[in-house]
Amino acid sequence: MPEPATHPKISLRAYQVGPNPGYELEAAGPKRRWMDEFPGKAPYRCLPLNMANQAGWLVKSPCTFSAKWNGKMGTGDTKITYEGADAEQMSQTIRSHFGGGIITFTLPWLFRTTQGYGVWVHGPPNSPVDNLQALEGIVETDWSHMSFTMNWQIMRRNAPVWFRKGDPICMLTPFPLDLIESVEPEILDIRSDAALHQAHVEAVKSRAEIIRHNVKTGSQDWEKKYMRGEQSDGLLRQGHRTNFKTASFEDRRRG
């Protein structure tokens, strides 16, 4: 059985470049409000969903605010209203300076990573926000001297959108910058790998039987082999993960 892959420690440093009006950085966890509220908390049975929820660090909104876009493209065509916060201060960090219904968060940090690694700046996984689309970016944080912004685009005009204080506005996920170009993608017939084909057939059959049972009885049983890391031979996959042990940012600022 192959040993689980190991990787060198990667540095992720957040240099504060100016006053922080209330943004927070924290290791992402598996919990989502809509998953908690779902009948039986059924989404938590999906391990890939849980893992994506945890795959990085979250930046949280410094205040509660609403925004409304009138459909035009000017920088003044999105009105932002800050609730219970210093509007002048917040307008310097949450504004619409690109126009086109885009809300820009100016983060108070410059991030640096180990040589060869960048940061994927993306919307919090599995955290839908009504009438908003996260605009994602990949930043070469191993050399850049500039901080970056997180942007969301309003999709429907004249329909207000909301962020609450403490809502996640983005996730930071480091990854090797040469990873994509090192991948050699192929399309194959699964029957070309007899062992994999047989294991897949058995997995599909097992899942189908559970679904038929649930439909017939109204129960909520679920197939747990992937959650356990159980392979087709019944052995548990060495190195199988059910969570990430994500480190918190350590504050090393002077004073």
Question: Within a 10 A sphere around the Cβ of 58, how many other Cβ atoms?
Answer: 20
pLDDT digits (tens, 9 = 90+) for 181-224: 999 999 999 999 999 999 999 989 988 988 888 888 878 777 78
What domain range is 176 assigned to? 12-182
205 inside domain: yes
Q: What is the pLDDT of residue 160?
A: 97
6 inside domain: no
In total, how many domains does the chain have? 2
Is the CB of residue 140 less than 8 Å from the CB of residue 118?
yes
- Rounded Cα distance, 138 and 226, in Å: 31
pLDDT digits (tens, 9 = 90+) for 74-131: 999 999 999 999 999 999 999 999 999 999 999 999 999 999 999 999 999 999 999 9
Supply 251's token pair: 């504050």
Strand stretches in 30-186, DSSP E: 57-60, 64-69, 78-83, 94-95, 102-106, 109-113, 117-122, 132-135, 137-139, 149-154, 161-163, 168-176
Clarify whether residues 202 and 144 are in a common domain.
Answer: no
Within 155-193, residue ranges assigned H as helices are: 179-182
Is the CB of residue 105 less than 8 Å from the CB of residue 169?
yes
173 inside domain: yes
Clarify whether residues 234 and 172 are in a common domain.
Answer: no
Clarify whether residues 170 and 78 are in a common domain.
Answer: yes
- pTM, whole model, 2 decimals? 0.92
Clarify whether residues 142 and 119 are in a common domain.
Answer: yes
Clarify whether residues 190 and 155 are in a common domain.
Answer: no
Cα of first residue to Cα of last residue in the chain, in angstroms, is 50
Clarify whether residues 222 and 104 are in a common domain.
Answer: no
Clarify whether residues 153 and 124 are in a common domain.
Answer: yes
Clarify whether residues 191 and 168 are in a common domain.
Answer: no
